[in-house]
C-alpha cells in the first residue's frame, strides 16, 4: 500500500469526531496581511531578499513571518515555497506564518507546491494545517492543479487530504470530508481508488460528506432555476398549494406543522437486528416542524404504477397531478433537476460499489427503477424568539431524525460557508453545524443504507435549527433528493467483506425497502392525520 494511503488510514483512525465541523473558519480565505512596520531588517534587505538569496531568516522572524511583498503581493511563505526552499518554509511555519495566505490570484502556498509537484512541500504545508479545499480565482484546488500538471503522487495525496477530516493536532477546526466527483469521473485508477477509500471512511465515521465537481451531471443553472421556481411556488396562497396535497397525507404538498419528523425516530424498530440494535435510541419527544414542502415521490401512493425514473418522460409525478400549474416554469425545472440529480445518484452508487468492494454493477438492478423522493422544503421566516417552533423543541426548524432511505443529496442555501442551521449529532451527543459551501452538495445516508451495510455506514442523526437573531426572519429553501432502491427490493446485508456479513456476524433480518420507508413516512405524518399536531393541520384531498 502507498505511504500516503497508510498515513491517511492512520489519520482517520485517530480522528476525534468531537473536533469535526467546528466550522467557524470553514472555507474562509485568510488574506496575507503585512505586519505593522516594514519587512526590512537592520541586517540588510528584506525577508524576501533573504529567501531569494538563501540567507538566514532568523533576523526577520517571527516579526515578518506574515510579510507581504508590496510589488508581487506574495507572502514570504509563497515565496519560500516557490523557491523550493524547504528550510525557509519550515522556519516560517514554525514562526506562525499563515498557511493559507492568498496571493492576488487567491492561490495559497499549497497551490504553489502542487504546481511544483513537490511531495515534501505538500507534506509540510498539510502538516501545518493548509486547507486542500481552497480554490484559486480559476476555481482550482491544489489537487486539480497537480493532476493537470501530471504530478500523480502529489495529486493523490491532496485528494486524500481533501476527503479526510482535518485532524492535524486535533485543535484545528475540522471540515466535512469532501469528495470531488470530477476526479472520480475522469481520474485514473489510483485516483478513483483513493476516492472510494475516502468515501467509505466518510460514511463510516461521520455518515456525511460533501460532494463537488458535479457540474457535468447536475449543472448549477439547473439548480438555480429549480430553486427560483420553488421559491415562487411557496409564495402562492395556501389554498392553491393545498391542491397538491395527496390523499394519504404522506407525500405531495405538506403544510407547516403537517410533519413531525422526529416521530419517525425508532419507527423502524420492528425490523431491528435480531440480536437487538445497540444503536437504537428511544424516540425523541415530538414537535411539529415549522416547514412546508412539496414531495415528489417515485412510488409511495397505491395505484400509481412505477415507471423507470431515469427517463424523464416516464417520471411518475410528471404527468400526475403532483406538479403545480403555477408558476408555469416549476414543472420543467423540477424535471430537469430530477434528471440531473438522478445521474448524480447513479455515480454515487458506483462510488459505493468501489468503496465497499462490491461486485461491479451490484447496485444497478435495485436502482434501475429507484424509489426516490424529490423534496422542496421551505422553512418560513420566524420571529427572532423562535415563534412557531413549538415549546417542546424551541428553536428548531426540522426536528431530530435520521433519513429513511439511501443517499440523501441535499442542496441548501449557503454561499456564505455557514450551515444555515443544519446540525449533526456527534458521537459524544453534542451537535455541530455542517458547513454549506458554494459548489458543494451535502450527502448523507439514511437507515436503509445503514442496515444494508450492516451498520458499517452510519445514518447520523441531524436537525435544522433556527438561526439566532435576525437571520431567523429569512426563509430557507432546501432541495432534497432521497434516493433508494425499488420499493420491492429485499434488503439484506450486502455481499461485502467490509460489512462482515459473509463471515456470519450479527445481521438485520431481511426487509422490503418500500415497507421500511413507508413506515417511517407514516410515522412522521401521523400526528397531523390524527389532528394532534400543534401546527394548523390541513384538509387532505
Which residues of the chain form contacts with ligand AKG (CB under 6 A)?
A: 375, 377, 398, 403, 410, 412, 422, 462, 464, 478, 480
Q: How far is the CB of 214 from ligand AKG (least distance, A)?
A: 18
Q: Judge contact between 260 and 288, C-beta under 8 A.
A: yes
Partner residues linked to 462 by β-bridges = 401, 424
Which one of ligand AKG, Fe ion, none is in contact with 388 (Cβ closer than 5 to 8 A by kind)?
A: none
Task: Please state, in angstroms and as integers, the Cα–Cα distance from residue 395 to each residue in 258, 392, 400, 432, 473, following that order.
Answer: 18, 10, 12, 15, 13
Pairing mode of beta strands 30-31, 101-102:
parallel
- Choose between 351 and 422: whose C-beta lies nearer to ligand AKG: 422
Size of the site for Fe ion (CB under 5 A): 1
Stretch that binds Fe ion, among 25-33, 216-224, 318-326, 395-403 (CB under 5 A): 395-403
Q: How far is the CB of 522 from ligand AKG (least distance, A)?
A: 16
Query: What are the contacts of 2-5 at 24+ separation with CB within 8 A?
Result: 2/156, 4/153, 4/156, 4/157, 4/160, 5/160, 5/194, 5/197
Which one of Fe ion, ligand AKG, none is in contact with 317 (Cβ closer than 5 to 8 A by kind)?
A: none
- Choose between 64 and 375: whose C-beta lies nearer to ligand AKG: 375
Q: Judge contact between 223 and 334, C-beta under 8 A.
A: no
Q: Does 400 bind Fe ion (CB under 5 A)?
A: no
Stretch that binds Fe ion, among 19-27, 215-223, 269-277, 399-407 (CB under 5 A): 399-407
Q: Judge contact between 436 and 444, C-beta under 8 A.
A: no
Which one of Fe ion, ligand AKG, none is in contact with 422 (Cβ closer than 5 to 8 A by kind)?
A: ligand AKG
Q: How far is the CB of 460 from Fe ion (least distance, A)?
A: 10
Cα–Cα distance measured from residue 190 to residue 151, given in angstroms and rounded to the nearest whole number: 12
* Closest residue to bound Fe ion by CB: 403
The three-point CA angle 143-147-149 to 5° equals 120
Cα–Cα distance measured from residue 256 to residue 242, given in angstroms and rounded to the nearest whole number: 11
Which one of ligand AKG, Fe ion, none is in contact with 412 (Cβ closer than 5 to 8 A by kind)?
A: ligand AKG
If 0-12 CB within 10 Å is exposed, 13-18 middle and 19+ buried, where does residue 224 land? exposed
Stretch that binds Fe ion, among 83-91, 130-138, 384-392, 397-405 (CB under 5 A): 397-405
Q: Does 292 bind Fe ion (CB under 5 A)?
A: no
Q: How far is the CB of 438 from Fe ion (least distance, A)?
A: 21
Q: Judge contact between 208 and 460, C-beta under 8 A.
A: yes
Which one of ligand AKG, Fe ion, none is in contact with 334 (Cβ closer than 5 to 8 A by kind)?
A: none
Which one of ligand AKG, Fe ion, none is in contact with 378 (Cβ closer than 5 to 8 A by kind)?
A: none
- Choose between 109 and 446: whose C-beta lies nearer to ligand AKG: 446
Q: 351-390 mask for Fe ion (x: CB under 5 A)?
A: ----------------------------------------
Stretch that binds Fe ion, among 162-170, 282-290, 396-404, 423-431 (CB under 5 A): 396-404
Q: How far is the CB of 468 from Fe ion (least distance, A)?
A: 22
- Choose between 298 and 493: whose C-beta lies nearer to ligand AKG: 298
* Alpha-carbon dihedral sign for residues 103, 106, 110, 111: negative
Q: Does 405 bind Fe ion (CB under 5 A)?
A: no
Q: How far is the CB of 129 from ligand AKG (least distance, A)?
A: 28
Residue pointed to by grid coordinates 441535499: 410
Rounded to 10 deg, the angle between the 189-205 and 152-163 helix axes is: 10
Cα–Cα distance measured from residue 198 to residue 265, given in angstroms and rounded to the nearest whole number: 28
Residues 453-472 that bind Fe ion (CB under 5 A): none
- Choose between 95 and 218: whose C-beta lies nearer to ligand AKG: 218
Q: Give residue 529's region: left, alpha or beta (phi > 0; psi -120 to 50).
A: alpha
Cα dihedral: 363, 367, 371, 375 (round 10): 90
Which one of Fe ion, ligand AKG, none is in contact with 192 (Cβ closer than 5 to 8 A by kind)?
A: none
**Where in 214-305 does DSSP place strands (E)?**
252-254, 292-297
Q: How far is the CB of 480 from Fe ion (least distance, A)?
A: 7
Cα–Cα distance measured from residue 110 to residue 463, given in angstroms and rounded to the nearest whole number: 35
Q: Judge contact between 48 and 66, C-beta under 8 A.
A: no
- Choose between 192 and 241: whose C-beta lies nearer to ligand AKG: 241
- Choose between 354 and 410: whose C-beta lies nearer to ligand AKG: 410
- Choose between 12 and 464: whose C-beta lies nearer to ligand AKG: 464
Q: How far is the CB of 278 from ligand AKG (least distance, A)?
A: 24
Cα–Cα distance measured from residue 507 to residue 98, given in angstroms and rounded to the nearest whole number: 49
Q: How far is the CB of 155 from Fe ion (least distance, A)?
A: 34
- Choose between 60 and 234: whose C-beta lies nearer to ligand AKG: 234
- Choose between 151 and 375: whose C-beta lies nearer to ligand AKG: 375
Among 200, 263, 400, 403, binds Fe ion (CB under 5 A): 403
Cα–Cα distance measured from residue 167 to residue 169, given in angstroms and rounded to the nearest whole number: 6
- Which is nearest to 374 in space by CA: 340, 334, 344? 334
* Closest residue to bound ligand AKG by CB: 478
Q: How far is the CB of 401 from Fe ion (least distance, A)?
A: 6
Interface residues with Fe ion (CB under 5 A) are 403
Amino acid at each position: 500500500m502507498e505511504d500516503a494511503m497508510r498515513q491517511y488510514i492512520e489519520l482517520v483512525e485517530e480522528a476525534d469526531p468531537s473536533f469535526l465541523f467546528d466550522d467557524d473558519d470553514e472555507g474562509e480565505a485568510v488574506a496575507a496581511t503585512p505586519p505593522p512596520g516594514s519587512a526590512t531588517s537592520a541586517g540588510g534587505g528584506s525577508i524576501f531578499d533573504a529567501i531569494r538569496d538563501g540567507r538566514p531568516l532568523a533576523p526577520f522572524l517571527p516579526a515578518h513571518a506574515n510579510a507581504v511583498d508590496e510589488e508581487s503581493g506574495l507572502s514570504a511563505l509563497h515565496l519560500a515555497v516557490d523557491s523550493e526552499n524547504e528550510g525557509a518554509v519550515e522556519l516560517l511555519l514554525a514562526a506562525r506564518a499563515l498557511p493559507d495566505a492568498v496571493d492576488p490570484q487567491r492561490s495559497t502556498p499549497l497551490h504553489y507546491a502542487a504546481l511544483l509537484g513537490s511531495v515534501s512541500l505538500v507534506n509540510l504545508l498539510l502538516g501545518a494545517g493548509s486547507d486542500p479545499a481552497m480554490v484559486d480565482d480559476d476555481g482550482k484546488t491544489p489537487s486539480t492543479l497537480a493532476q493537470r500538471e501530471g504530478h500523480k503522487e502529489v495529486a493523490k495525496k491532496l485528494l486524500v487530504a481533501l476527503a479526510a477530516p482535518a485532524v492535524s493536532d486535533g485543535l484545528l477546526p475540522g471540515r466535512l470530508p469532501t469528495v470531488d466527483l470530477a476526479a472520480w469521473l475522469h481520474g485514473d485508477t489510483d485516483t478513483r481508488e483513493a476516492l472510494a477509500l475516502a468515501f467509505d471512511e466518510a460514511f463510516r465515521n461521520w455518515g456525511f460528506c460533501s460532494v463537488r465537481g458535479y457540474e457535468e451531471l447536475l449543472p448549477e443553472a439547473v439548480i438555480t432555476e429549480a430553486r427560483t421556481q420553488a421559491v415562487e411556488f411557496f409564495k402562492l396562497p395556501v389554498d392553491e398549494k393545498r391542491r397538491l396535497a395527496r390523499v394519504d397525507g404522506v407525500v405531495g404538498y405538506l403544510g407547516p406543522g403537517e410533519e413531525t419528523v422526529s416521530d419517525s425516530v425508532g419507527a423502524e424498530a420492528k425490523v431491528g437486528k435480531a440480536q437487538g440494535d445497540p444503536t437504537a435510541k428511544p424516540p425523541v419527544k415530538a414537535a411539529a416542524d415549522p416547514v412546508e414542502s412539496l414531495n415528489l415521490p417515485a412510488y409511495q401512493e397505491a395505484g400509481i404504477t412505477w415507471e423507470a425514473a431515469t427517463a424523464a418522460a416516464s417520471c411518475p409525478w410528471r404527468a400526475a397531478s403532483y406538479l403545480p400549474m403555477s408558476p408555469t416554469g416549476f414543472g420543467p425545472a423540477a424535471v430537469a433537476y430530477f434528471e440531473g440529480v438522478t445521474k448524480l445518484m447513479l455515480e454515487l452508487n458506483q462510488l459505493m460499489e468501489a468503496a465497499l468492494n462490491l461486485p461491479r454493477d451490484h447496485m444497478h438492478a435495485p436502482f434501475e427503477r429507484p424509489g426516490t423522493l424529490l423534496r422542496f422544503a421551505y422553512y418560513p421566516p420566524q420571529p427572532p424568539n423562535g415563534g412557531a417552533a413549538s415549546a417542546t423543541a424551541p428553536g428548531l426548524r426540522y426536528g431530530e431524525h435520521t433519513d429513511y432511505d439511501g443517499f440523501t443529496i441535499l442542496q441548501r442555501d449557503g454561499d456564505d460557508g455557514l450551515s444555515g442551521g443544519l446540525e449533526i449529532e456527534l458521537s459524544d451527543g453534542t451537535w455541530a453545524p455542517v458547513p454549506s459551501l458554494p459548489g458543494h452538495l451535502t450527502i448523507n445516508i439514511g437507515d436503509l443504507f445503514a442496515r444494508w451495510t450492516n451498520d458499517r455506514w452510519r445514518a447520523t442523526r441531524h436537525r435544522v435549527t433556527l438561526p439566532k437573531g435576525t437571520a431567523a426572519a429569512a426563509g430557507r429553501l432546501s432541495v432534497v433528493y432521497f434516493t433508494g432502491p425499488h420499493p420491492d427490493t429485499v434488503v439484506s446485508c450486502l455481499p461485502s467483506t467490509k460489512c462482515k456479513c459473509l463471515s456470519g456476524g450479527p445481521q438485520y433480518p431481511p426487509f422490503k425497502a418500500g415497507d421500511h420507508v413507508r413506515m417511517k413516512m407514516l410515522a412522521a405524518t401521523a400526528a397531523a392525520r390524527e389532528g394532534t399536531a400543534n401546527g394548523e393541520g390541513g384538509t387532505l384531498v
